């Protein structure tokens, strides 16, 4: 049975909505635990706000297409949650792992929105494509920030750890 591109677009928008819900949950938890890396904490908190707005925009796209906004979390989001859970509070190097996991998560989001832009264009949904392009730019900016700031976080972490002061968060 053929799946037309409009159906696929709706599916992917619903997946993206679930992904952003999960992202919000995980980033909030991560930011609340960070004590000694204020720049990182601040940027994550900013991205939590962006993420909330992104989820609202995705819900708007789904409504515009006459589709439902998902209530349950998708499988990808659950897999991501497992990945985040694995990299979280248990670890002595929580902040170092957290930066890596966040960087990976942003690239999952980047890949997701790039696919959505293609699907939206093929389905003739220019407004959905424009929304997804705007969200993509925010994800790319967050990924770029993490890339640029990772060395400073890692240096600070190693320095604190070697000096025997709280380093993990």
By beta-carbon proximity to its own copies, the closer residue of 18 and 62 is 18
Pick the binder of its own copies from 48, 65, 83, 141 (CB under 8 A). Answer: 83
Pick the binder of its own copies from 30, 80, 135, 142 (CB under 8 A). Answer: 80
Helix 94-122 / helix 5-33 crossing angle, nearest 10 deg: 160
Q: Does 89 bind its own copies (CB under 8 A)?
A: no
Question: Tokens representing 100?
Answer: 């890596």
By beta-carbon proximity to its own copies, the closer residue of 85 and 134 is 85
**Part of the chain binding its own copies (CB under 8 A), chosen from 31-39, 46-54, 131-139, 155-163:** 155-163
Q: Which DSSP string do the residues of 45-79 spell out, in sequence order?
A: HHHHHHHHHHHHHHHHHHHHTT-PPP-SPPHHHHH
Q: Does 164 bind its own copies (CB under 8 A)?
A: yes
Tell me which residue of 130, 11, 18 sits closest to 74, measured CA to CA. Answer: 18
**Part of the chain binding its own copies (CB under 8 A), chosen from 41-49, 56-64, 115-123, 134-142:** 115-123
Q: 104 φ, ψ to 5°?
A: -65, -45
User: What torsion do the CA atoms of 11, 17, 19, 23 make, to the nearest 10 degrees?
Assistant: 170
Contacts to its own copies from residues 37-76, by CB under 8 A: 75-76
CB of 44 closer than 8 Å to CB of 31? yes
Rounded Cα distance, 72 and 121, in Å: 27
Binding positions for its own copies, rule: CB under 8 A: 1-5, 8, 11-12, 75-76, 78-80, 82-87, 90-93, 96-97, 99-101, 103-108, 110-112, 114-115, 118-119, 122, 143, 146, 150-151, 154-155, 158, 161-164, 167
């Amino acid at each position: 049975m053929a799946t037309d591109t409009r159906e696929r677009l709706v599916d992917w928008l619903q997946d993206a909505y679930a992904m952003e819900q999960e992202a919000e949950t995980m980033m909030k938890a991560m930011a609340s635990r960070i004590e000694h890396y204020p720049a990182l904490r601040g940027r994550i908190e900013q991205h939590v706000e962006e993420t909330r707005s992104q989820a609202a925009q995705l819900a708007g796209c789904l409504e515009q297409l006459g589709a439902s906004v998902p209530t349950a979390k998708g499988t990808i989001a659950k897999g991501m949650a497992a990945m985040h859970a694995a990299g979280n509070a248990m670890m002595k190097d929580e902040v170092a792992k957290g930066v890596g996991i966040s960087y990976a998560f942003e690239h999952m989001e980047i890949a997701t929105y790039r696919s959505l832009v293609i699907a939206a264009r093929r389905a003739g949904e220019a407004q959905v494509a424009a929304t997804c392009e705007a969200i993509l730019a925010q994800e790319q900016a967050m990924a770029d920030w993490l890339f640029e700031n990772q060395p400073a976080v890692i240096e600070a972490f190693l320095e604190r750890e070697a000096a025997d002061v709280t380093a993990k968060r």
